Structure 1
Amino acid sequence: MDATVEISSKHVTSHEGAAISIAVDGKPVSELYFDFSKLLKSVRSPSDVSQDFLLVAATVYALDKLALRKDAENGWERQFRVTIPVKDSTKWSRASKTINQCVSFLSGDEWRFTFTERTNRIIRRKQRRRRSRIPPRYARGEFACLFSGGLDSLIGAIDALDQHKGQRIALVGHHDPNIGGVEKDQKQLLKALDAAYPNQCEPVFVGVGNSGKSPEITMRSRSLLFIALGVSVASHLGDGTTLLLPENGTIALNVPLTPARRGSCSTRTAHPHYIDLLQTWLSKVGLNHPISNPLLPKTKGESVVQCKNGTLLAKIAAQSTSCAKPGHTRWWKRRDADGCGQCMPCIYRRASLHAAGIDNEPYGNDICTGEVEVANPKSEAADDFRACLSFLRANHPKETIATMLLATGPLSPLEVLGHADTVVRAMNEIRQLLRDKANPQIKRMAGL
């Protein structure tokens, strides 16, 4: 697929940005959506390089959703050739090898970027007839923290706010206008955090997406767009400002539970190798912002149990969402639930809440009571839980899990055994949930 990004010199959107389109093989296929009006209320003057990074990330996000994997030669790995205008094409071209590696690793496809000189402005501020009597209140903070509305990002925000009492922290949220629920979750959780930590939260919630139908649902590249927004805010806060990306180690590493899930089929949205490549990319284009994952050494259960304000977390955890398949409600017994209960993020979530003694949420289907058809090989909805039970039953030693982790991406020999131990502890959390609550059939399938 040959794609080109075009920034209009004349047409502007209602959100203080240029009209930006993506053409594939010379034919326009989508418009990019940026709510710059919202961003500019918090970020005074986004730098050219942070705007370019956001443009690249949004383009990747859009193309990832527009190109069906089933149309690829092998039914999975797509090939993208993308031309994007940036302010300093020489600098970006020097970093292109790293950028290609980073995005290819993230999405499991082959990406090749060509950068041309950008002559048109991305942000187009409205000409206001008179100045507002209320001065703008731009974001302040010691650092920025990604705030997705999920349980991990909630824990990361609570830990940061509690550890740095009295200091402001920018909470950066991304939502796609075409996907409902995410912004609502973020705002609901922010209200609770504001009450617990007054005058500390600096919310920056911005919508970025694209127009038209998005037939591909893998969403593997969303983390790049999310991080690009975080970098825009961190850049505003000052050179060298750290960006926190809270993601428990089990999800970040995403061990392949079966051989079929190895390699490109395993998501890598917070994988250490991806973050290392991304860090090199940022450095090469002049964005000096360390990306730190404070939850990487922990399982999800350890993240919950060790949260610095467990009382607050227990009160509001149910307002967060972890489900990877929230729209697949046709399979659910309880369609008013917030999560399916049977995807791996839901399973890790429930096991973590059980470890903390707060497993009291309803799920679309209950993995413990037989509502997930694991014995039916034709049930696609049961694939994750079936793979999980198979992995538990195998009871792999740490050394075998380390080998599996190396199949998902490069890890240093000194780190991989530690990561494998994190996976072992996470699986023990699921085992404990099943021991305490599962029916005899599920226990047998898990080898318990």
Structure 2
Amino acid sequence: MKLVCSPDSSKLPELCGSTLPVLLYHRSEATVCASAGAAIVEELYRARLVPNQRAIDFLSLALSIVTADLAIPRAKSPDGWTRQIDLKISVADPDFWNSQIAALQAMLRFLTTDIWNISFLPDGFRLEALKKEVDYPEETSVALLSGGADSLVGVLDLVASNERPFVISQTVHGDGEKQGQFATSIGGGLRHLQLNHNAKFAGDGDRDQRARSMIFLAYGVLAATTTKSYQDGGTIPLYVCENGFISVNAPLTEARVGSLSTRTTHPIYLSRFQQMLNAAGLRVRIINPYQFKTKGEMFAECRNQGDLKRFAHVSTSCSRFRTFGLEHCGRCVPCLIRRAAFHKWGITDETHYKHADLAKVDDDHANYDDVRSAAMAFATVEKEGVDALIGATLSSEFIADSGPLREVVVRGFAELKSLFESLGIR
């Protein structure tokens, strides 16, 4: 399927069976036309923030990618999964971005396993001059704050280290309020910017969102370039805090290969993203301080145990949180890892899980796919070693030494196995 993305409706083609016009940074009045990003511009004006133009181009790219990822259903692909996506995007500097197509397509291929064909057009979005005085945040770092437990630990640790990051969120139903609660409570209150891509399109589309971290990272880059430190020529750390076990996300079974196991913070993906930032001359350095830690280790070693005990059960981990009416299912892989982390931490897990008793042998509990797959993974690791699951997922020029990553996967499986034993799951 082809998408043409532009902030100028006059540059967009008519909707037809194989082409979807996407209006960027404006709300489309035509219900048949997709749109994304209008609320972001409004929020930037409201906050009096002016990002670097190259960062705005990067955001246009991310908005286009996330819209394509959501709008094109995998079920209609020849193999029921891999999509062929033709994407044309208007940017302010098409010559530069067209020189980066090979690296960009390789990064997206790794992230989503789809086949991307991307090209860039002129007349991209430019932020109009502000009528009010521009605000240049004094913060010297940026951190993503999702509402999840890992980003919560990350911000708690940063503040405990006397760092006060500019925290950035993607506002989604069920998480927006807790994001605000975390930001206003930690360290007496942190500067917080909540954005939403508001990608809209006709039809059901696809909800797997394998490319979702593109937009989260683009928000972080955007915010980093608004800071006074960046304006003064500094390089801004962008903290993307997630435990190494879920970042590597080794397939639990041979059936969970490719993008069936998400790669939103995989070290290879983050390295490729950093390569794109460097090529674009954007002085933002992506850091995941926990790439060699399990979630349980993050909980146990957090430098602010008081606030973590206060907020951990409020955080969101479930991959089906909205599907279950803003309730943790208790049985998906992220829920299992969360429950294992509480178990290792030794603190009572006050999270309410819809499917709490995983020792119960039925299709909702011990026989559920992810629970059975995890149990099978333990047996595989014990019999054949962790490389039987990791395979070639850590073989890359971007990973100089895969040893520490392999070790965090081993410890992550050990945490899960300990949880299963405590729950009586066989």
Same fold per superposition (TM over 0.5): yes
| Corresponding residue for residue 304 of structure 1 | 299
| Corresponding residue for residue 405 of structure 1 | 390
| Corresponding residue for residue 211 of structure 2 | 221
CA distance in 2, matches of 1:143, 1:432: 37
Residue type at the aligned position of 2:67? A
Verify the 8 A CA contact 1:402 1:417 in the aligned structure 2: no
Verify the 8 A CA contact 1:58 1:209 in the aligned structure 2: no
CA distance in 2, matches of 1:408, 1:43: 42
Residue type at the aligned position of 1:224? M
User: Which of 360, 368, 380 is matched with 1:394 structurally?
Assistant: 380
| Corresponding residue for residue 169 of structure 2 | 173
Residue type at the aligned position of 1:402? D
SS in 2 for 1:311: helix
CA distance in 2, matches of 1:415, 1:18: 42
User: Which of 20, 26, 29 is matched with 1:19 structurally?
Assistant: 26
CA distance in 2, matches of 1:395, 1:10: 57
1:326 is displaced (CA, Å) by 1.2
Q: Does residue 206 of the first structure (1) align with residue 195 of the second (2)?
A: yes
1:429 is displaced (CA, Å) by 1.2
1:408 is displaced (CA, Å) by 3.2
Verify the 8 A CA contact 2:358 2:366 in the aligned structure 1: no
CA distance in 2, matches of 1:251, 1:42: 34
| Corresponding residue for residue 343 of structure 1 | 332
Distance 1:198 1:371, change over 3 A: farther
1:137 is displaced (CA, Å) by 5.1
CA distance in 2, matches of 1:431, 1:65: 34
Residue type at the aligned position of 1:407? A
Residue type at the aligned position of 1:202? R
Map Cα deviations across residues 325-368 of structure 1 (whole Å, 9 max, x no partner). Answer: 11333xxxxx7x73111011111001101111222322111143
Q: Report how many residues are paired.
A: 405
| Corresponding residue for residue 8 of structure 1 | 8
Q: Which moved more, 1:260-269 or 1:27-36?
A: 27-36
Verify the 8 A CA contact 1:18 1:122 in the aligned structure 2: no
| Corresponding residue for residue 363 of structure 2 | 373
Verify the 8 A CA contact 1:30 1:210 in the aligned structure 2: yes
CA distance in 2, matches of 1:115, 1:152: 35
Verify the 8 A CA contact 2:136 2:226 in the aligned structure 1: no
Equivalence map 1:38-437=2 (5 Å)? 38-42=43-47, 44-118=49-123, 121-124=125-128, 138-163=136-161, 165=162, 167-175=163-171, 179-193=172-186, 197-198=187-188, 201-212=190-201, 213-237=203-227, 238=230, 239-329=234-324, 338-358=327-347, 359-370=349-360, 373=363, 382-396=368-382, 400-408=385-393, 410-411=395-396, 415-436=401-422
TM-score, normalisation: structure 1: 0.83
1:136 is displaced (CA, Å) by 6.5
| Corresponding residue for residue 34 of structure 1 | 38
CA distance in 2, matches of 1:314, 1:409: 34
CA distance in 2, matches of 1:210, 1:365: 31
| Corresponding residue for residue 14 of structure 1 | none
Verify the 8 A CA contact 2:242 2:291 in the aligned structure 1: yes
Residue type at the aligned position of 2:258? G
Residue type at the aligned position of 1:245? V
1:432 is displaced (CA, Å) by 1.8
Verify the 8 A CA contact 2:63 2:215 in the aligned structure 1: yes
CA distance in 2, matches of 1:375, 1:360: 19
Map Cα deviations across residues 57-83 of structure 1 (whole Å, 9 max, x no partner). Answer: 011111111111010011100011111
CA distance in 2, matches of 1:376, 1:46: 49
SS in 1 for 2:50: coil
Map Cα deviations across residues 165-189 of structure 1 (whole Å, 9 max, x no partner). Answer: 2x431001112xxx51121221122
Residue type at the aligned position of 1:184? E
1:116 is displaced (CA, Å) by 1.5
Distance 1:409 1:77, change over 3 A: farther
Verify the 8 A CA contact 1:60 1:221 in the aligned structure 2: yes
1:269 is displaced (CA, Å) by 0.3
TM-score, normalisation: structure 2: 0.88
RMSD of aligned Cα (Å): 2.7
Residue type at the aligned position of 2:287? S
Verify the 8 A CA contact 1:5 1:20 in the aligned structure 2: no
In the alignment, structure 1 segments of 5+ residues that lack a partner are 12-16, 330-334
Map Cα deviations across residues 305-335 of structure 1 (whole Å, 9 max, x no partner). Answer: 0111112101111121011011333xxxxx7
Distance 1:394 1:402, change over 3 A: closer
Distance 1:367 1:281, change over 3 A: farther
Residue type at the aligned position of 1:3? L
Distance 1:189 1:254, change over 3 A: same
CA distance in 1, matches of 2:197, 2:266: 23
SS in 2 for 1:366: coil
1:435 is displaced (CA, Å) by 2.5
CA distance in 2, matches of 1:214, 1:288: 38
| Corresponding residue for residue 19 of structure 2 | none
